[in-house]
Amino acid sequence: MSRHHPGHHPLAPTDDPPVSAPPADGPVAKESADTEHGLFAATTGWLSYLAAERRLSPKTVEAYGRDLRQFLTFLTEYQGEPPSLGTIAALGPADLRAFLAARRREGIGSHSLMRQLAALRSFARHLERTGAGNASAFAAVRGPKVKKNLPRPLAVSAAKAVTTVESRAGDDRAEWILARDAAVLALLYGSGLRISEALGIQRRHAPVGGQADITVMGKGGKTRSVPVLPQVSRAIAEYIAACPHPLPPEGPLFVGARGGPLSPRIIQLVMENLRGALGLPASATPHALRHSFATHLLGGGGDLRAIQELLGHASLSTTQNYTKVDAARLLAAYNAAHPRA
């Protein structure tokens, strides 16, 4: 649960202009104070809900509070008076688009705008849930388009290099750990596995001893069979032989330094170190090896539908995202494979 200093509420203005001025005396002032109190109570209840029931991190709760505070500040300037629960309930899509446009003029990027809109929608749903408003206007506004970054595969030579123990010759870690890391990365590149799929393999299913394929469980609990190259099998066998910890059949194939399940974060750190050692770009991540698997197969004349099955993609369009870096080859493979091409 998020805890804030009693003197600083997430919606309390910091460097931002104040949301509202203190009311003057009189009946109008009392009405203003009541509406402000209602809005403050609603925002406090919303933030408590995010922290206690949604279990969002304190930083996320703080960011959402800041997003709402900026919106209320905008409404004060936009409407010429401090907002209340009533004015928020009366907002239309045009008002929200005006806010997004104002933020865009301030140089705010699409990702930040999407998060801010998500925060406002969450607040509106909270008002609806508590009978203090409705969320229709917030739901009616489409968020800004966010450009998707295309996959950036490694060069063939670089992909091969990260899967060998020799690439970490200067590393002072135990030999069996170096062998383990090389085996995991070899599986990611050689079979196009997701890191969760590779680390989810049980010892009894290890593709060694002439086994030419392996069955893995992908997203949605779907299983698929993927081929395993002889070089990958050898790397796994070398790791198993060197591992000092017992590897029971029902336990994980890849274990950590103390013998427990291996964390994906460890493999991510391995790739970070290899980026420095081999001079690779920041895009060289464990998942980039999966991209590389698909792209290099396609570049070598692999069938698009076969690659889709190997990756475990439900739709061909997802496979296309993995291989847009070689659009000409993709089009040729598609035309050759599609019955109506």
Q: Which residues are catalytic?
A: 194, 219, 287, 290, 313, 322
- Inter-residue contact 130 to 45 (CB < 8 Å): yes
Beta-bridge mates of residue 223 = 217
> Looking at 94-143, which runs of residues are DSSP E strands?
none
For residue 143, give Cα distances in angstroms to 111, 269, 331.
10, 34, 32
- Total Cβ atoms within 10 A of residue 9: 15
* 25, two tokens: 């005396």
Query: Rounded to an integer, what distance in angstroms lies between the CA atom of residue 200 and that of residue 19?
Result: 51
Select from 58, 35, 43 the least CA-distant residue to 12.
43
CA atoms within 13 A on the CB side of 113: 22
The 8-class DSSP code of residue 220 comes to G
Query: Rounded to an integer, what distance in angstroms lies between the CA atom of residue 64 and that of residue 80?
Result: 24
Query: Rounded to an integer, what distance in angstroms lies between the CA atom of residue 291 and that of residue 188?
Result: 9
Tokens 């383990």 map to which residue? 180
